[in-house]
C-alpha cells in the first residue's frame, strides 16, 4: 500500500494488522495509575490487545471500556478476561459521542497512528463528541519528534520526500510500507489540545524506546 493511500484512510491498515504486529511500547505511567485510581469509568481509545488495562490496579466496581478498529486485537483483549474490563470494535474516526458517561479517557500512543493533523483533530473531535467534557480527565501519552537522533531525523526526511508532513514517516518491513507513524512536536500537541477545546493540566517529557529499540522522546499529558 502506498504512503498516500495510508494517509487517506489510516484506519484501513490498523484494521487488518495482526495483533502481534501492533506496536505497544508505551507502558502505564504513574500519571495514568493515579488518574485510574480516581476514576470509575474509563474509556481506552485504541486499546489494541488490552495491555494497558492489565498494567494498572483498579478500584472495586471500576469499569474499563476499550475500543479499537482491529477485530483480532479486540478478540484477544476480551480473551484475557480482565476483571471489570470489556473491549469492542469501534472505528473512532467514524464514531459519535464515545465520551458519554466516562470520567477518564485515555489516548495511549494513538495520535502517532494518525498521519495528518486533520486526522488527529478528527480523532479527538469524534472521541470527545465535539463538545465540552467538563469533569472528565483526558490522559495522552505519545512520541515526540527526536531531532538529535539521526535515525529519526532520516525517517522524517524520508516522510517529507513522500509528501508527508514533517514528523510523519513510513514504517517499512522488507522494503514495503507497513504503516505511517507520526512524532509530534510540543507545538503540535498544544495546537491539537486547543482544537479539541481542552486545557493541559500537566505535561512531562521523558526518554523512551521504539519497538525497534531506537531512542525516542516521549511525553505524558493530563488535560481537562
Kindly indicate the confidence band of residue 122, based on its pLDDT and cuts at 50, 70 and 90. confident
Pair 120, 185: CB distance under 8 Å: no
Say what the alpha-carbon torsion angle 78, 28, 194, 159 is, to the nearest 10 degrees. -90
Cβ atoms of residues 27 and 55 within 8 Å? yes
Grid coordinates in use for 177?
510500507
Residues 6+ apart with CB under 8 A from 64: 42, 44, 53, 58, 82, 84, 85, 86
Domains parsed from the chain with CATH numbers: 3-223 (3.40.50.150)
pLDDT of residue 26: 92
pTM given for the model: 0.94
pLDDT single digits (tens) 32-63? 999 999 999 999 999 999 999 999 988 888 99
Sheet architecture: strand order including 85-89: 85-89, 63-68, 41-45, 104-108, 137-144, 215-223, 200-209
Does position 160 have pLDDT exceeding 90, yes or no? yes
Amino acid at each position: 500500500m502506498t504512503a498516500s493511500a495510508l494517509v487517506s484512510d489510516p484506519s484501513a491498515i490498523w484494521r487488518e494488522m495482526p495483533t502481534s504486529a501492533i506496536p505497544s511500547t508505551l507502558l502505564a505511567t504513574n500519571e495514568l495509575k493515579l488518574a485510574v485510581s480516581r476514576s470509575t469509568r474509563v474509556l481506552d481509545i485504541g486499546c489494541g490487545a488490552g495491555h494497558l488495562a492489565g498494567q494498572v490496579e483498579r478500584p472495586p466496581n471500576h469499569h474499563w471500556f476499550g475500543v479499537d478498529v482491529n477485530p483480532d486485537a479486540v478478540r484477544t483483549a476480551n480473551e484475557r478476561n480482565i476483571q471489570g474490563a470489556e473491549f469492542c470494535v469501534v472505528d473512532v474516526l467514524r464514531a459519535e459521542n464515545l465520551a458519554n458517561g466516562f470520567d477518564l479517557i485515555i489516548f495511549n500512543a494513538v495520535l502517532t497512528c494518525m498521519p495528518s493533523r486533520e486526522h488527529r483533530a478528527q480523532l479527538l473531535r469524534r472521541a470527545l463528541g465535539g463538545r465540552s467534557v467538563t469533569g472528565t480527565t483526558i490522559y495522552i501519552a505519545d512520541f515526540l519528534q527526536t531531532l538529535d537522533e539521526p535515525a529519526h531525523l532520516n525517517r522524517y526526511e524520508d516522510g517529507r520526500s513522500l509528501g508527508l508532513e514533517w514528523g510523519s514517516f513510513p514504517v517499512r518491513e522488507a522494503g514495503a510500507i507497513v504503516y505511517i507513524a507520526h512524532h509530534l512536536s510540543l507545538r503540535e500537541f498544544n495546537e491539537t489540545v486547543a482544537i479539541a477545546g481542552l486545557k493541559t493540566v500537566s505535561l512531562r517529557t521523558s526518554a523512551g524506546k521504539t519497538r525497534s529499540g531506537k531512542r525516542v522522546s516521549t511525553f505524558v499529558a493530563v488535560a481537562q
